[in-house]
């Protein structure tokens, strides 16, 4: 919901670090893959109840997610980079609730499953819109430098990461947080379906 507003600040903060990585010869794809690998480590950390370690993995993953784009803008963006960025992000978002389900299956498995299903709704509607928008040559005014069309909604990247942080800080509240966010994701999915229905109408 507020990703576009935060983007200029994020770019200013990360620019110096990205410049240093470029001078060292680090590629954007390497940052993306390394960030994903660190993010995956959050799953066993959550399963063991190591909430602080999971939060650290989350923070490093999100840092890499911002840095890879900053590096790409300096060294030249690629289609492979855009693909990796979004594909690995969506997998990471689905894996994080899985860690809580493994930590306490009795209390967390069902809300985690519902939340992951809700992520499928937001992710699939996002990608379906982006693929057809690309065929039509459309671009998102709020994200002109992105490698694919970014369709906003009630639940975007910032809200999802804020949710994960709250889950790590208050693991006992995971079921309630998961149910609540799944409901807001459903709203996002429905609004994206509506936008696709309107924008891609045969007479448009």
Q: Are 158 and 3 in contact (CB under 8 A)?
A: yes
Q: Which residue carries 């369709």 as its tokens?
A: 151
Domain coordinates in residue numbering, the chain: 3-199
CB contact set of 30 (below 8 Å; sequence gap of 6+) = none
Choose among 37, 147, 163: nearest CA to 97: 163
The token pair at 12 is: 């200013």
pLDDT at residue number 182:
97
pLDDT at residue number 104:
97
Q: What is the pLDDT of residues 13-34, one digit of tens each?
A: 777 787 778 888 889 899 999 9
pLDDT confidence tier of residue 143, bands split at 50, 70 and 90: low
Q: What is the pLDDT of residues 90-129, one digit of tens each?
A: 999 999 999 999 999 999 999 999 999 999 999 999 888 8
Answer whether residue 6 shows pLDDT above 70: no
Describe the chain by its helix, strand, coil percentages, rounded to 5.
80, 0, 20
d(CA 46, CA 171): 9
pLDDT at residue number 162:
93
pLDDT at residue number 112:
98
pLDDT at residue number 13:
77
Q: Can you point out the beta strands (E) in the chain?
A: none
Q: Which residue carries 């990471």 as its tokens?
A: 92
Choose among 59, 156, 58: nearest CA to 100: 58
Q: What is the 3-state secondary structure (H, E, C) of 127-147?
A: HHHHHHHHHCCCCCCCCCCCC
CATH 1.20.120.1760 fits 3-199, yes or no: yes
Answer whether residue 7 shows pLDDT above 80: no
Q: What is the pLDDT of residues 39-76, one digit of tens each?
A: 999 999 999 999 999 999 999 999 998 898 889 888 88
pLDDT at residue number 54:
98
């Amino acid at each position: 919901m507020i990703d576009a507003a935060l983007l200029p600040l994020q770019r200013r903060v990360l620019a110096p670090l990205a410049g240093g990585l470029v001078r060292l010869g680090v590629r954007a794809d390497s940052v993306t893959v390394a960030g994903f690998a660190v993010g995956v480590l959050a799953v066993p950390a959550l399963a063991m109840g190591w909430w602080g370690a999971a939060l650290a993995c989350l923070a490093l993953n999100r840092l890499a997610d911002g840095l890879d784009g900053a590096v790409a803008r300096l060294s030249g963006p690629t289609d492979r980079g855009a693909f990796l960025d979004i594909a690995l992000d969506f997998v990471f978002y689905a894996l994080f609730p899985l860690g809580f389900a493994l930590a306490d299956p009795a209390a967390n498995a069902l809300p985690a499953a519902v939340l992951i299903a809700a992520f499928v709704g937001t992710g699939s509607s996002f990608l379906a819109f982006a693929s057809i928008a690309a065929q039509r040559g459309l671009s998102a005014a709020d994200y002109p430098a992105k490698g694919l069309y970014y369709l906003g909604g009630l639940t975007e990247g910032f809200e999802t990461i804020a949710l994960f942080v709250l889950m790590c800080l208050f693991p006992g509240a995971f079921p309630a947080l998961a149910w609540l966010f799944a409901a807001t994701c459903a709203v996002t999915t429905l609004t994206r379906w509506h936008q696709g229905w309107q924008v891609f109408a045969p007479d448009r």
